[in-house]
Amino acid sequence: MTEKNFVPRGQLSPDESGRVSWTAPSNIALVKYWGKKGEQLPANASLSFTLSHCKTETSLEFEPLRSKNTDIDFDIFLDGENIVDFRPKIQSFLLKIYKYFPVLPHYRYTIRTSNTFPHSSGIASSASGMAALAACFTEMEALLSGGMEADFFMKKASFLARLGSGSASRSIQGSIMEWGEHHFIPGSSDLYGIPFPFDLHPVFHTYRNTILLLETGVKQVSSSRGHELMKGHPLAGPRYEIAGNHIEKLCGVFKTGDLDLFVEIVEHEALALHAMMMTSRPSYILMKPATLNVIEEIRSFRNQSGIPVCFTLDAGANVHVLYPKEYEPGIMKFIQDQLVAYCQNGHYLCDRIGEGIQRV
């Protein structure tokens, strides 16, 4: 498929009002996407767990205007509060999707959104937020056009979500999503994410993710800026090659349930992401002392207990603890006894592998 496939072919009728609502989860990348090309396209393919509890609920109210507006008219509310700071990001997203939704300026929009997790907690709210908003606009198009096939609905929602946040393309479906063209993944595309197309070992059906909130607040460097730093990075080429190899290896891991190899790949990917930031110009150290302490604690516990628990990181200081459901009691005791002390105000979030967007 190409971008042209996502431009509506028929005439959309800009004379209906309505309201649609969707929830979308966040996701945690196992193989990291870091670096962009073109219009929000990934420099390397990525693979992620879709989460379940950490999600965004968004409603979109649309009302036709008497005449086409020169600007896109909208209000955005977070937890009932009109948030001016969010307007530039939403405005940018709407301008990007305009050519794929040409009736956009014929309506006035009210967007109401809320998260099940704290804002600026280090969870990818841009992924869940943009995925939920993209699902709303996709359903709006389906209503105005008289319907849309389910498979194309998911592709278009992921396509639109990608334009707002690259990782949002992986929050549309579950339980494991792949985004980015890769020779080993049939149907993979830079334009949208797809569900993992191969067999999945039962151990991964109920995987757990506990997020340790070591630092909250605004990130030291935005993800967009971090991606830009990969341009001209001397290690970018080898990094992209390694990421591609890791996706191929994880396809085997997901089939066989080889948790030792899963741990090795996931932790390597987490540290590689931060290595890219530490060796960029300018450079950034996003991990904090508490991050390193938690990593050492997890590795020590794994070596002593033989439990295949591992960590992964996003572009920040917080730590995602990944482990099979069968070890949950022991891991939660370990977290409460050893790791909570590193969390801000003792805060952590418990989540598990999930299934993607849902209509409200």
pLDDT at 121: 55
Q: Any alpha helices (H) in 257-348, and if so which ranges? A: 259-278, 289-305, 328-334
pLDDT at 224: 85
pLDDT at 118: 75
Q: How far apart are alpha carbons 270 and 70 in whole angstroms? A: 44
pLDDT at 123: 65
Q: What is the CA radius of gyration of the chain?
A: 20
Best CA proximity match to 63, nearest among 108, 12, 112, 14: 108
Amino acid identity, position 225: R
pLDDT at 69: 74
pLDDT at 239: 97
Could you give the 3-state DSSP secondary structure of residue 278? helix
Q: Are 357 and 132 in contact, with CB atoms under 8 Å apart?
A: yes
Q: Residue 83, Cα to own-chain centre: how many angstroms? A: 22
pLDDT at 124: 58
pLDDT at 70: 77
**Residue numbers of the chain with a pLDDT score lower than 70:** 14, 119-124, 217-218
Tokens of 71: 């600007």
Torsion angle in degrees (nearest 10) through CA of 274, 266, 243, 258: 170
Q: How far apart are alpha carbons 213 and 100 in whole angstroms? A: 38
